[in-house]
């Protein structure tokens, strides 16, 4: 009977090994798909940021403020933008 138990134990170990290998392959495949999806979304976001920057630059050029500081930069309080027009 001990020989039969040893064979059963070996088959059980083999089945478990195959199951774990299959599970790891599935996890690796899913991880790869998720990684590619994340990278794709990051690339898409980068392209959108580039397009937004270009649109902002185009708008600034249209408004004639190409050399002006960005809206987030603090403006100097001593400057009067209309002072050149009255002379």
Of the candidates 42, 21, 40, 43, the one whose C-alpha atom is nearest the C-alpha of residue 32 is 40
Please, which pLDDT band fits residue 87 given cuts at 50, 70 and 90? very low
- 60 close to 66: Cβ distance less than 8 angstroms: yes
- Report, as an integer, the average pLDDT of 65-69: 59
Residue of higher predicted confidence among 9 and 85? 9
Residue of higher predicted confidence among 82 and 58? 58
pTM, 2 dp: 0.53
Q: Using one digit for the tens of pLDDT, what is the confidence trace for 19-53?
A: 999 999 999 999 999 999 999 999 999 999 999 99
User: Alpha-carbon distance 22 to 18, whole Å?
Assistant: 6
Of the candidates 81, 42, 52, 77, the one whose C-alpha atom is nearest the C-alpha of residue 64 is 81
User: Alpha-carbon distance 58 to 35, whole Å?
Assistant: 35
Residue of higher predicted confidence among 12 and 5? 12
- 68 close to 60: Cβ distance less than 8 angstroms: yes
| CA-based radius of gyration for the chain | 33
């Amino acid at each position: 009977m001990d020989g039969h138990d040893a064979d059963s134990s070996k088959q059980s170990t083999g089945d478990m090994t195959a199951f774990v290998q299959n599970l790891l392959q599935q996890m690796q495949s899913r991880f790869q798909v998720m990684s590619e999806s994340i990278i794709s979304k990051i690339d898409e976001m980068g392209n959108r940021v580039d397009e937004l920057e270009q649109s902002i630059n185009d708008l600034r050029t249209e408004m004639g403020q190409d050399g002006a500081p960005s809206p987030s930069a603090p403006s100097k309080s001593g400057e009067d933008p209309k002072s050149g027009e009255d002379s």
